[in-house]
Amino acid sequence: MSNDLNRATFDEVMVPNYGPAKMIPVKGRGSKVWDTEGNEYFDLSGGIAVCGLGHCHPELVEVLKQQSESLWHLSNVWTNLPALELATKLTSLTFAEKVFFANSGGEANEAAFKLARKYAKDNFGPEKVEIISFFNGFHGRTLFTVSVGGQEKYTQGFEPLPQAITHLPFNDLDALTAAISDKTCAVVMEPIVAEGGIINATEEFAQGVRELCNQHNALLVYDEVQTGVGRTGELYAYMGLGVTPDILTSAKALGGGFPIGAMLTTTKIAESMGIGTHGSTYGGNPLACSVANKVLDIMMRPETLAGVASKRTLIVDGLNAINDKHGIFSDIRGKGLLVGAALTEEWHGKAKVFLNAAIEEGVMVLVAGLSVIRIAPSLVIPDEDIITAMEKFAKAVDKVLADV
């Protein structure tokens, strides 16, 4: 059967909401991927910041094998040991005291936004329903999460939308000061706006948001689906900002490629999610939780996070070398191994051209919006692989520039 399957099959049988590349990967190890033709690729995309420990990390393979032979699924009518172990780890490693498990980032955010509304209603009455979030933010694809997200293209056509959501410019404390009120139940932000262009929150903004939330009894929700689990060099990005949120969502790298999402919060806030208020069939299932337990163990080894800064330097050096030659980047942003290279005005809207050229040279990168190239590799990618991959990417850029 698989001999008859190719990229054309996608157009025949898949809903056309994605436009995948021509090659079809069949195997991954560490930071390398091979396609159906046996071509090798250096993966600087990490499955969109999911494969934080690379592909088929041997310890993750082992734990998944073991768990798959003991227990797959129970439902939340029973609890299970991997879920209890994971919740214990997450609460001991973060500000949080309580954890809710889901299967994706969007679901973790859906839980967070529902909880914020419910908590406000329980504690402050029925008027406190407004959610404030930021333009270019991304929080998932459910109707509530696209509505809180700040990109109109993702809500168009899906109206009527959930109500009482206000979008403001990011990093603009004056705008938030003017908009926030006692009707605000939550302010939702990514510590680095990821999908929307790799825009770092300034420390001043992050701390100002925290203070305004305190003044108005609004919950501060950090969407760390992309920035979390070591990506920025801290376990969670809030730890580097000197700000503690009230609710934090995690997914992507938490499962290293096995689907899982988590919402973290305090005991007091969690009280508003009493028995029967929310749930998920698969959330907290033993397979996902056992993998995530191992992911956290590996993340917490000192050498894992300690390598992030020097690996970032190798990537940024590679990007700077490209820029010295071609002057195509106006800014190199992000933190740790979430790197954004913003294209100059001349190249606005063309990020995908570079992504496609990179694949031709055997390197997988990402875009963040139309005008930013995003690099988010495994946190344990060997330095040699970064160097080779950046050389290949430089070659891809040379070719794009030669064609204009």
Least distance to ligand PLP, CB of residue 395, Å: 29
Both tokens of 21, joined, read 């590349």
Binding site for ligand PLP (CB under 6 A): 104-106, 109, 138-140, 190, 194-195, 223, 225-226, 251-252
Residues with catalytic roles = 138, 223, 252
User: Between 192 and 390, whose beta carbon lies closer to ligand PLP?
Assistant: 192
User: Between 161 and 306, whose beta carbon lies closer to ligand PLP?
Assistant: 161
Least distance to ligand PLP, CB of residue 379, Å: 16
DSSP-assigned beta bridge partners for residue 35: 25
Least distance to ligand PLP, CB of residue 250, Å: 10
User: Between 232 and 347, whose beta carbon lies closer to ligand PLP?
Assistant: 232
Least distance to ligand PLP, CB of residue 179, Å: 22
Least distance to ligand PLP, CB of residue 226, Å: 3
User: Between 128 and 139, whose beta carbon lies closer to ligand PLP?
Assistant: 139
CA gap 171, 256 in Å, rounded:
30
Distances from the Cα of 184 to the Cα of 106, 129, 246, 374, angstroms = 22, 6, 14, 33
User: Between 131 and 390, whose beta carbon lies closer to ligand PLP?
Assistant: 131
